[in-house]
Amino acid sequence: MKFAHGLLLISTAAGVTFGCAHTPPGTSVEVALAKKAELIRLPTAAEDPHLVAVKGPSKPVPAVEPELPVMEDRIEAEAEAFTRGKFAMADGKDGEAIGAFEETVKIDPTHQEAWQNLAVLYEKTGSGSKAAAAFRKSKNLARQ
């Protein structure tokens, strides 16, 4: 084993391996390598008489960090249905878009944009009375 300018040269059967060891100025490579952290294996209860073996179900360990807030299923379902409706409407699939927007307003009756899109689609498909009702609902929600 040789040290040359901060590099550790290790002789192996296959040849020489270079290992880089950062050393602060004034510190030798030997000292830097001696301070290097090493992975160790902790003793088991059978190996160390001071440790107590835990038998039976263990208690759950509390989380170190708080859990991230999870969106409610209702909100996710509403957003998914509305997005499906927007894509179907853009693709000209009026029946599919109507179904998706109806699902959206069933989940959240105060979703103004879904009511507005329903009014447009109902009018386009020839359902005048449904279009008028959806438009009134959309207009009332926009005023709030």
Confidence of residue 69 (pLDDT cuts 50, 70, 90): low
Q: Which residues contact 97 (CB under 8 A, 6 or more apart)?
A: 85, 86, 88, 89, 117, 121
pLDDT 10s digits, 73-109: 788 889 999 999 999 999 999 999 999 999 999 999 9
pTM: 0.51
Sign of CA dihedral 107, 110, 113, 119: positive
